[in-house]
Structure 1
Amino acid sequence: MLYDLHELQRSFLSPLAAFSGSNAQLLTHPYSPWAYTPLSKQLAAGYELLHRLGKEYEKPLWDIPSIEKDGKTIPVKDETVHHLPFCNLVHFEREGLKKKEPKVLIVAPMSGHHATLLRDTVRTMLVDHDVYITDWIDARMVPLSAGPFHLNDYVRYVEHFLEFLDDDVHVIAVCQPTVPVLAAVSLMSARNSPHVPKSLTLMGGPVDTRESPTQVNRLATTKPYSWFENNLIQRVPARYAGAGRRVYPGFLQHIGFIAMNPDRHMSSHYDFYNHLVKGQDDDAESHRRFYDEYNAVLDMPAEFYLDTIRIVFQEHALPRGTWEVDGEFVTPAAITKTALFTIEGELDDISGLNQTRAAQTLCENIPESKKQHHTAMGSGHYGIFSGRRWRNNIYLLVKDFIQKNA
């Protein structure tokens, strides 16, 4: 019912958003006489802000047309090379580049935002690596005939992609997938699979949420499992391909994102209005780019979300050694050949300090010479995989680690 009410609200807001967007253009276009009237900048700024608050945000494009390498511009083309019901495997082909470089699978989080949130991660990695990424599909677009999708299915998807990519793969898991990726590599190692990755880099993830609990962890542990199922799970409305599927809707997740830092978002929108009025186009465009990504959310399968709450945050099944995937116990100690690099942000308010580092202790049979840890001082959650600190510091460490274990 809540999802249906949300769709009804969207149907009312859409005409208002379109009207506001048109008026903003009318008051700013250089060939429009209205752009030269008194208060036109203030009115245009108000209309654009209203437009952006009311519009529906689609999945952003990857928008990586090229990279700069050795002083040359290398065209880049993204294409889906493998498809599963809930995920596409996307490859970024660097045209004309014949030199063989390390093959890297970036496992993006299924935690509300699209995989394009890792655009900066991908763009930076492309300079020295052959990059693939998991592009999770909005659950409201997956027909019921595809069946449910549990956390265990996520683990199997990772195994499947590693087998598809064959040998000599390096894996980077960002945030939420650190847990299922570590599980997948553990299971493959226990079976002596020939497709275990050469290296595994875990970045800012909830491997053991008993360490330095954050606001996210506390929410998951202060509410009973039934609260999440009864209050957050909705059925997809009839207008979508996944009609009837139980999901944790993107719009509810977005409300949660905003609620974590409401003052920051309010201040950001106020600054955006002032940038428009003052003609500070670069700052205004930066705001647009950020919120085009931040406001584009997807629905998560209910089974996956509820499994994550129970297994990762409430039962701590991975660090306690009680997690079973289709009858197989997940034992990180089984990993012996894959090198391990854990990365955390000092100021991460989503995955606290030592939550990711816990993987170092769990993977006790990896030789110390193949283990590495880095705490990014002054960095928050997003800073470890996007932005200046990522590009100028953390990436160089990841690059060296991959090359050392290639």
Structure 2
Amino acid sequence: MLYHFYEFTHAALAPWRAAADTMRLAYKNPLNPWTHTPMGRSMAAGLELFERTTRRYAKPEFGLNTTKLNSGPVDVTEEIVWSKPFCNLIHFRRDLPEGRRPDPKILLVAPMSGHYATLLRGTVETLLPKAEVYITDWVDARMVPVLEGRFDLDDYVDYIIEMLHELGPDTNLMAVCQPSVPALAAVAVMEKRDDPMVPLTMTLMGGPIDTRINPTAVNQLAQEKPIEWFESNVIMNVPWPLPGVGRAVYPGFLQLSGFMSMNLDRHVIAQKDFFVHLVEGDGDSAEKHREFYDEYLAVMDMTAEFYLQTVQTVFIDHALPKGEMTHRGELVDTTAIRNVGLLTIEGERDDISGVGQTEAAQTICPNIPDDKRHHYVQPTVGHYGVFNGSRFRAEIAPRILDFIRTQQQMKDKAKASPSRIRRVITGGKAG
């Protein structure tokens, strides 16, 4: 009933939001004498704050229309190259000049943890000049009809494997936060099958591989409550008239409440500062606030089965680091990973995935050669800074691209070695 009440409240406030927006425009009209007074600016600021607080934020756009290469700017076009009911794979196709050497392919797996894939806009933007970037664009579960079936953690792993097959060999897998676990599981499943489409490298960033290490507030909540508590308190059915009516989900508005409660004082101060910036006419600061919260407040529902299975597997049972995680009834054996380069990245001040949780992947993948693995901790950044911001652009992204290039060179060199040996044996003759 809470979901129904939420939808009813949102609909009931719609006329008030429209009225507030109309009055705000009136108070910002330069022909209105009140516009140029402190009272008029305060009214306009308060009305905008009301409208933004009560609106539902739509899925943002990536808006990456160009990127800059060494040869100059080129156009970028979004295209869907693979699609399933719960996910679209988007390719940021660059209008490359003829004769340019192929750049590495990167499959960027965005988190399915409340926010849309556009949260990684900065990640994509940073990688585009040097890589062919593909990203998982997860679909809001409340928009998927019940007839399309379920989506759980096993399906998530299958989706990653199917996308790697779609992109072909020498793809570089990159998982940010939550998908680190299913990404690692997918690679383990592929290696165990001797799958030729296994990725060249796997980069795990700020992911909860082993949440027993330096547990955070997020981890502790899962430990304190049984899975039945989550099922009873956060799982709801999508109401009519949404396309996914009747589907059991973990609603986005509940997830957002959890996000904001972790740093409630910071968000309250941000809203107060936004009001002050509007009154003082500080347009740049106000616009930065809008940009951040337009993204932060846009949330999506997750299927109940995926959410509950993830909580149980990752945060309660710690199944992957214990060697007990299964996929379709078969044990996920991370010791089978031997051909994929592994790069793990953490933020020194990460309060979502504590330091050491992602590095645990290095321990549970003992058969990866030393020259194919690396771990890096970025000083002074939190969770968000691991995949976005100035430190990511200047220090983390170059390390990722360098690791990818190094692993590709090692593979190319290993391929060339047998032919050189044959030439020596045959006295320099072909064959």
- TM superposition score normalised by structure 1: 0.98
Change (3 A) 1:277 1:305: same
Q: Deviations over 1:254-284 (max 9, x none)?
A: 1001110000000001111111111111111
Q: CA-atom RMSD, angstroms?
A: 1.1
Are 1:334 and 2:327 counterparts? no
In 2: Cα distance, 1:298 partner to 1:132 partner: 21
Task: Describe how 1:74-223 pairs up with structure 2 within 5 A.
Answer: 74-98=74-98, 99=100, 100-223=102-225
Q: Deviations over 1:167-220 (max 9, x none)?
A: 110011000000000000000001000000000000001000000000000011
Give the equivalent residue in structure 2 for 1:309. 311
Contact 1:349 1:380 in 2 (8 A): yes
3-state DSSP of counterpart to 1:21: helix
Task: Describe how 1:6-405 pairs up with structure 2 within 5 A.
Answer: 6-37=6-37, 39-70=39-70, 72-98=72-98, 99=100, 100-405=102-407
Change (3 A) 1:387 1:225: same
Contact 2:45 2:275 in 1 (8 A): yes
Shift of 1:30: 3.1
Shift of 1:67: 1.3
Contact 2:204 2:345 in 1 (8 A): yes
Structure 1 counterpart of 2:27, one-letter code: L
Contact 1:187 1:328 in 2 (8 A): no
Contact 2:38 2:279 in 1 (8 A): no
Shift of 1:69: 1.8
Change (3 A) 1:208 1:38: closer
Identity percentage over the alignment? 50
Contact 2:278 2:286 in 1 (8 A): yes
Give the equivalent residue in structure 1 for 2:419. none
Q: Deviations over 1:326-355 (max 9, x none)?
A: 122111111111000000001000000100
Give the equivalent residue in structure 1 for 2:418. none
Return 213-222 or 6-15, whichever deviates more: 6-15
3-state DSSP of counterpart to 2:260: helix
Shift of 1:310: 0.4
Contact 1:16 1:54 in 2 (8 A): no
Q: Deviations over 1:294-330 (max 9, x none)?
A: 0000000000000011000101110011111112211
Return 66-75 or 254-263, whichever deviates more: 66-75
Deviant stretches of 4+, over 4 Å = 31-34
3-state DSSP of counterpart to 2:220: helix
Contact 1:26 1:34 in 2 (8 A): no
Structure 1 counterpart of 2:119, one-letter code: L
Structure 2 counterpart of 1:232, one-letter code: V
In 2: Cα distance, 1:338 partner to 1:18 partner: 54
Shift of 1:15: 1.9
Q: How many residues align?
A: 406
Q: Deviations over 1:213-252 (max 9, x none)?
A: 0000001110011000001000001111111000000000
In 2: Cα distance, 1:17 partner to 1:66 partner: 35
3-state DSSP of counterpart to 2:28: coil
In 1: Cα distance, 2:283 partner to 2:255 partner: 30
Shift of 1:37: 4.6
3-state DSSP of counterpart to 1:39: helix
Structure 1 counterpart of 2:145, one-letter code: P
Structure 1 counterpart of 2:47, one-letter code: Y
Structure 2 counterpart of 1:84, one-letter code: K
Contact 1:18 1:55 in 2 (8 A): no
- TM superposition score normalised by structure 2: 0.93
In 2: Cα distance, 1:265 partner to 1:71 partner: 42
In 1: Cα distance, 2:340 partner to 2:224 partner: 36
In 2: Cα distance, 1:324 partner to 1:151 partner: 10
Larger Rg: 2
3-state DSSP of counterpart to 1:373: strand
Change (3 A) 1:38 1:175: closer
Unaligned 5+ runs, structure 2: 409-431
3-state DSSP of counterpart to 1:77: strand
Shift of 1:18: 2.1
Q: Deviations over 1:73-93 (max 9, x none)?
A: 111111211110100000001
Shift of 1:110: 0.3
3-state DSSP of counterpart to 2:404: helix
3-state DSSP of counterpart to 2:91: strand
Shift of 1:36: 3.1
In 2: Cα distance, 1:106 partner to 1:162 partner: 11
Return 22-31 or 179-188, whichever deviates more: 22-31
In 2: Cα distance, 1:94 partner to 1:86 partner: 26
